[in-house]
Structure 1
Amino acid sequence: MATVRLASDERPETVLEFRVLGSWREKIRGLLGTSPDASPVMLTRCASIHTFGMAYPIDVAFVGELGEVLEVRRGLCPRAFASHAAACCVMERPSREGPWLEEGEHLWIVSISADALAA
């Protein structure tokens, strides 16, 4: 499994881990078929997502090419579509209470698995 660990300028003490989804098939599936305790995912080269077929709401963050969080949607319900024209990747997780990415936050890579480099 390819993973990336990210931190932000605004919260450097917090490291977030995401499973990297880079292929078309992986991105179309996203969190579909997972449970509400699934790990967060990062959809690379992606500017739009859907929640058709999802059994639970998700939290979404659209991220620009320089690591800036452009837009955050919390609790996006099943059967919805969301996009941001300037996004280069999208972060998703099952919707839950607690901290999540925030608009204006600047992300940077702490580490990336070797598997993710081949994607």
Structure 2
Amino acid sequence: MNNIKVANQQTGSAIANVRLANTAALRMRGLLGSKPLSMQQGLLIIPCNSVHTFGMSYSIDVVYLNKKNQVVKIIEALKPTRISGCLTASKVLEIAAGSAEKNMIRKGDILSW
């Protein structure tokens, strides 16, 4: 799995260690079986417009992005055993709970990697 850096073009903040899940197998596995994320870790799932936290033991922030990498929706601290989706999203960034606020990620921001 490739590691990338995701940066917010509006604020300059970045999450340095993001794994890319861009195959069916990597998307299906997601964060299942992983340790809780640090504030500098995440998972970018492409393509994706919905996620679940079944089988996870920790909460995550979920950032939905459209085809232009613009943030269209943010779910903060999605708890285990939950489902979330966004019909206008084409990719999802899963990050540690609290990381969206810490990295000043807001709806309308453009993220790059």
TM-score interval, smaller chain:
0.7 to 0.9
Alpha-carbon RMSD: 1.7
1:40 partner SS? strand
Give, in whole Å, the separation in 2 of the partners of 1:76 and 1:60.
7
Indicate if the aligned counterparts of 1:32 and 1:54 stay in contact, CA closer than 8 A: yes
* Equivalent position of 2:55 in the other structure: 53
* Equivalent position of 1:112 in the other structure: none
- How far residue 68 of structure 1 moved from its aligned partner, in angstroms, is 0.5
| TM-score, scaled relative to structure 2 | 0.84
Give, in whole Å, the separation in 2 of the partners of 1:106 and 1:76.
22
Indicate if the aligned counterparts of 1:47 and 1:88 stay in contact, CA closer than 8 A: yes
Aligned length: 108
Structure 1 unaligned segments of length 5 or more: list them: 110-119
Give, in whole Å, the separation in 1 of the partners of 2:7 and 2:102.
13
User: Which structure 2 residues correspond to residues 9-20 of structure 1 after superposition, within 5 A?
Assistant: 9-12=9-12, 14-17=13-16, 18-20=18-20
1:25 partner SS? helix
Look at both structures and tell me which one has the larger radius of gyration over its CA atoms.
Answer: 1
* Equivalent position of 2:81 in the other structure: 79
Give, in whole Å, the separation in 2 of the partners of 1:79 and 1:45.
22
Encode CA deviations 1:23-77: one digit per residue, 9 max, x unaligned: 1121122111111235311001111111111111111000011110000001101
Percent identity between matched residues is 26
* Equivalent position of 1:106 in the other structure: 110
Indicate if the aligned counterparts of 1:36 and 1:95 stay in contact, CA closer than 8 A: no
| TM-score, scaled relative to structure 1 | 0.80
